[in-house]
Amino acid sequence: MDWITDYVNFASRISEPAIIFHEWCAVSAIASCLKRKCRLILGSLRFYPNMYIVLVGPSGCRKGTAMRIAANMVSDIKEVSLSSQSTTREALIRQIKAAVRTETVNGKLTIDSSFTIHSEEFTVFLGYNNLELITNLTDWYDCGTGKTGLWNYETIGRGKDEIQGMWVNMLAATTPQALKASLPMEAVGIGLASRIIFVYASKRSKVMPFPVMTPEDIAEQDDLQRRLESMLLISGDFAVTDDFVSVYSDWYIKHGAKNPFNDPKFSGYSDRRAAHIWKLCMIMNASRGGGKIISVADFERSLDLLTRTEESMDKVFSGFGSRDAVDVMVLLMQDIALYKEMSFETIMRKYYKDADNKTMEGIITSLESMGYIDKVINDKGKIYIRYRDVISNSDK
């Protein structure tokens, strides 16, 4: 029996959100229960199963609905410490510090401050250009320093304070427009953004005018809740099979740090793909009751989910860093002078993140009026933009 599979089947049957939203909500729910007491040590590297997951889509695509199904199950588990929906940075730090408890890991008592953030309005939680909180979230993702997971911070009036066993897991939701207003352009692809899995879906998977739960659905929900809670018993070091080492090594050499978006601003995310895979492998293993021995099947399943998510991830940032029309015009003038002729199709492929068709047509009309270019249409109806020798014979 696999918990994620059963959860997705259940959640997709009783609600409208996109399947991929349900998949990542299930991943976050398991992470909440594994906490810092689970880990994977590779030489000097330590991986913990905490993840930052943000569901992104237009209003009405049921992001919040997907979150609530999983979040309600997690909130009923008293051993999982949860954030308030809306809170200040200072209050959040106090909540994490108050979450401290002792856990037994490999037969030893350890200090654990594992904490899960649920926020249906990520941009409200993050605030506008809140660089201090953005910096803190970036630090927390890596679970503090050293074996004890120590994180130091400044307090008002008390000087320095610290939290041991730092571990933060996050599930949130937002729209592309709200995210653009809240996350600084320079943070895209690096820092905090490189640590977040942005899960994009543009619409619901189906329409359910009267979503109701049958007695059978309620019984299944209770069973899922019980099985999820039982994952609190998992603790200690995860290991890998020999076959896993071979398959993972081959992938890592060929594709591990490959930029899946062909966009340099995502280079930071690309560098973290392997870390995302390791975290997912622990979660997938726990989902199927794999006894902390990560197999090739866990890897393949993790890679499949991440790859499918990456196919739409760049849509989240389609408006980030876009230039205004004047900047696009200057760059286009340089391109046309260099290449002498460019198809409209080629121009749009290069500048699609900076200008839509209407804006680009306006820029080209302006360049045509300036005498800088000629717009040529061939016999197949394809539009070409041709550089005009600005110093023509009539001007000499």
Residue 183, pLDDT score: 72
Q: Does 278 share its domain with 344?
A: no
Q: Does 211 share its domain with 102?
A: yes
Domain boundary residue, one of 266, 296, 317: 317
pLDDT single digits (tens) 138-158: 999 999 888 889 998 877 666
Q: Does 204 share its domain with 65?
A: yes
Q: Does 368 share its domain with 243?
A: no
Q: Does 236 share its domain with 371?
A: no
Closest Cα to residue 144, out of 280, 32, 273, 36?
36
Q: Does 301 share its domain with 330?
A: no
CATH number of residue 377's parent domain: 1.10.10.10
Burial letters for 372-394: b for 16+ Cβ neighbours within 10 Å, e otherwise? bbeeeeeeeeeebbebbeeeeee
Helices (runs of H) and strands (runs of E) counted in the chain: 16, 15
Domain boundary residue, one of 274, 300, 317: 317
Domain boundary residue, one of 277, 293, 317: 317
pLDDT per residue, tens digit, the chain (396 aa), is 899 999 999 999 999 999 999 999 999 999 999 999 999 999 889 999 999 999 999 888 999 999 999 999 999 999 999 987 667 888 899 999 999 998 888 888 899 999 999 999 888 888 776 788 888 999 999 998 888 899 988 776 667 889 999 999 999 999 888 887 777 655 665 688 889 999 999 999 888 888 889 999 999 999 999 999 999 999 999 999 999 999 999 999 988 767 777 666 677 788 889 999 999 999 999 999 999 999 999 999 999 999 999 998 878 876 555 556 777 888 899 889 889 999 999 998 888 777 778 889 999 999 999 889 999 999 888 999 999 875 444 443
Q: Does 303 share its domain with 358?
A: no
Q: In this structure, what DSSP letter does residue 82 have?
A: B
Number of structural domains the chain divides into: 2
**Phi/psi-derived region of residue 27, left when phi > 0, alpha when psi is between -120 and 50, beta in every other case:** alpha
User: Alpha carbon of 338 to those of 242, 368, 377: distances in Å?
Assistant: 53, 17, 20
pLDDT single digits (tens) 62-76: 999 999 999 999 999
Q: In this structure, what DSSP letter does residue 370 have?
A: T
DSSP-based three-state secondary structure for 118: strand
- pTM here is 0.80
For residue 3, how many other CB atoms are within 10 A of its CB?
A: 21
Q: Does 91 share its domain with 182?
A: yes
Q: Domain range holding 364?
A: 325-395
pLDDT single digits (tens) 19-55: 999 999 999 999 999 999 999 999 889 999 999 999 9
Q: Does 216 share its domain with 337?
A: no
Q: Does 256 share its domain with 355?
A: no
Beta bridge partners of 169: 116
Can you spell out the DSSP letters for 232-281? GG--EE-EE-HHHHHHHHHHHHHHTT--TTS-GGGHHHHHTHHHHHHHHH
Q: Does 335 share its domain with 269?
A: no
CATH number of residue 91's parent domain: 3.40.50.300
Q: Does 230 share its domain with 367?
A: no
